[in-house]
Chains A and B, each alone.
Chain A
Amino acid sequence: MFRAVLYTQWKWTRPAIMLAVLVAGYIPVAALRAMPYKTESTYYIPSLYRGMAAASTYYQWLALFVAVVVAISAWQADGHRQHVYALSLPVPRWRFVLLRFGAGAALLGVVAAAVGLFGGVAAAIAPLPPILHAYPVGLAVRFWLGSLIPFGLIFALLVSSPKRVRLVVAGVATIVVVDMALAAMGVIDKPVVIGTIFDAIYSGRGPLAAFLSKWMLVDV
């Protein structure tokens, strides 16, 4: 069953995955080629480090792009047909969702593996200074986990009923409006809930923790 689901999702996302794999190969090459200057035998450490920090941002955008595409593709075909085919299959609903999620995670893993592979090859060829090392495996793991988060969020949103999504949006909107109203009336000094939510989301332990750290192919 998983192979069948994986095959269909691969077919739907094939162009995007292949493009992502190409970009994954291009990023380290472009970053290393863009080094402003290097010494006779190796790269200049500060500029190499800065270049890798800049490349980190491109990896994060790539992860976001491929996560969004895979998540939307996972349910687009079913959504067009109001999930009739999926619901008529002899598997529990939760299991089918798990199959789709697993297939999506596997496809993201393909891109993550490409990130690690191409990054490793580029770093192996490039003359790195002794104090810096390549971490292609760490980068691939970060990439995979970092792409799974937006994938999971969009995936869950798309498979929820419109009523549920409306409930969640209405709930959040109510909290925000009440928070702002209390602040405007002076009951509280400033909108507490909004600030707390933003702090939680953007903190190092929140759902965006993956995107707050740098995804360095080369590091100390």
Chain B
Amino acid sequence: MSELRLLAAACLALACAGALPAQQDAALLTRRDALRARADSLQKVFGALDASARDAGLTSEVQAGTLRIRTTTALQPVAIAAFTRAVTEARRVLGADADSMAGHLQLTLREHRGTYRYKWFPIVGSVLVDTTEHIVGASLEGRLDGREVPGVRLDYPVDRDELAASALSIFERAIASRVPTPMEPWLDHRVPLHAAQAELGPDMFRTLATSEAAIVRRCAAGDRSACRLGFALDSVPSNPVLAWYDASDLPALARSAGDHIQRVGMTSALSRDEQDACTVQQQMEICRRMVALLPAGAFRIPMPGAARASLTRLAFEMGGARGIERLRASADTTIGGQLAAVAGVPADALLGRWMEKLIAARPSSPLPSATFVLASLACIMVCLGWAMRGRPWN
């Protein structure tokens, strides 16, 4: 008994000794917090100075329609041309809403300077060619009603097409901030304004037909209710695994569960051998156990972002002008209801139209495209012509 008491006392002593380093001097804490606050305020001052130094070269605002732009004199022409194009593109989707939205957005196109310039050459690699100060790049930033919108870095010289696309991307994010939930996160925080997002091509069909979610594959096969579930038009199901995936998808889901297990260090939950039993040997029971370890929020909407963007683009095209306003005025809190508000038709009709386009996009010809054949034949003819003129003796 006395040995036991001694042992308990020793453990307590060790525990206290371990706690000693965690004890902190209150005075030291106060001193540390004060220093931290001072560092933060200095950082803000430097940031403001830096911003004003950067802004020093910027001229007053110019306008591309209702869109306001601050930039340097040198970049004004390319900025106006690019942003006019961006607003024109946005009008295709939003109609007159595009101009009223643009009026709330201010874009800043800056030049960035540096003192070292490297040029890359084949074989030789990077070579230092210049050490004078010069423009090394540009950036495009946006502010919507005073709130910052994430910006984009650009190469210098600024390419008009790249700038127009970047402006459109900022516009997408800016407009998305005015879109009500749950649609804004459903859209991955950007309203699809780029023309390419409207396309439902063979690649999209392939992506959906070979998705790792059974619900998406069934949608590609023409099951409208599957498309509805896959887009989560009504609501996110309480049991996503059951609703979106079937037994054949479990090993792929379990692989992502295995990554999660490794990431959060839950190796005690399932051993490596047990994980392999699912992913390699496809023992479904173990796969189910692994999938059950995934937190609820780990299951994203199975329809890819490009598919959601194309459905949204279609809704805007069908709905015509004032789609955003109808959306904001809608009381429906389901994705389907909100899309229907944009489109001006019931969600089923919108979905049906989208499915028609998807099925029409399915590659129909088993043979290579005409471009492929013509390009190949052209190369072959050139080679043959060159060969027929050859004389190896001379």
Contacts and interface: CB of A to CB of B under 8 A. Distances in A.
Q: Do chains A and B touch in the complex (CB under 8 A)?
A: yes
Interface of A: 36-39, 44-46, 49-50, 78-79, 82-83, 87, 93-94, 97-98, 101, 130-133, 135, 137-138, 141-142, 145-146, 148-149, 152-153, 155-156, 159-161, 163-164, 180, 183-184, 186, 189-191, 194, 204-207, 209-210, 213, 219-220
Given A78-B392, A132-B209, A149-B379, 12 more contacts: A45-B209, A45-B210, A87-B393, A93-B388, A130-B221, A152-B379, A152-B387, A156-B386, A156-B387, A180-B122, A190-B119, A220-B202
Contacts of B390: 97, 156, 159-161, 164
B220 interface: yes
Given A138-B368, A209-B375, A131 B388 contact: no
Given A184-B121, A220-B205, A138 B388 contact: no
A184 B130 CA distance: 11
23 contacts: A36-B251, A79-B392, A94-B389, A101-B387, A131-B217, A137-B367, A145-B372, A152-B387, A156-B383, A156-B387, A160-B386, A161-B392, A161-B393, A184-B129, A189-B157, A194-B122, A206-B375, A207-B375, A209-B371, A213-B372, A220-B210, A220-B362, A220-B363
Contacts of B394: 161, 163
Nearest to B120: A190
Given A45-B210, A194-B122, A220-B362, A156 B376 contact: no
Contacts of A38: 248
Contacts, number: 141
The 10 closest A-B pairs by CB, nearest first: A152-B383, A156-B387, A145-B376, A49-B210, A207-B379, A138-B366, A94-B388, A135-B366, A160-B390, A156-B386
Contacts of A44: 248
A210 B211 CA distance: 26
Contacts of A220: 202, 205-206, 209-210, 220, 362-363
Interface centre among B252, B377, B384 (most CB of A within 10 A): B384
Nearest to B278: A37
Interface of B: 119, 121-122, 127, 129, 157, 202, 205-206, 209-212, 217, 220-221, 247-248, 251-252, 279-280, 282, 362-363, 365-368, 371-373, 375-377, 379-380, 382-384, 386-394
A209 B216 CA distance: 31
B379 A142 contact: no
A186 B252 CA distance: 53
B282 A37 contact: yes
B391 A131 contact: no
Contact of A141 (B119, B220, B368, B393): B368
A83 B387 contact: no
A159 B392 CA distance: 6
B236 to A, nearest CB: 23
Contact of A183 (B121, B211, B280, B363): B121
Contact of A160 (B119, B209, B375, B387): B387
A161 B376 CA distance: 25
Nearest to B121: A180
A191 B120 CA distance: 10
Nearest to B368: A142
Nearest to A165: B390
Contacts of B375: 204-207, 209-210
Contacts of A156: 383-384, 386-387, 390
A132 B366 CA distance: 12
B380 A46 contact: no
Given A131-B220, A138-B368, A180-B121, A146 B205 contact: no
Contacts of A153: 379, 383
A184 B206 contact: no
Contacts of B220: 131, 220
Contacts of B393: 82-83, 87, 161
A132 B388 CA distance: 44
Nearest to B247: A39
B388 A37 contact: no
B119 A161 contact: no
Contacts of A79: 392
B282 A93 contact: no
A97 B388 contact: yes
A159 B371 contact: no
B367 A138 contact: yes
B196 to A, nearest CB: 16
A210 B372 contact: yes
A216 to B, nearest CB: 10
A46 B282 contact: no
A137 B368 CA distance: 10
A183 B247 CA distance: 58
A204 B371 contact: yes
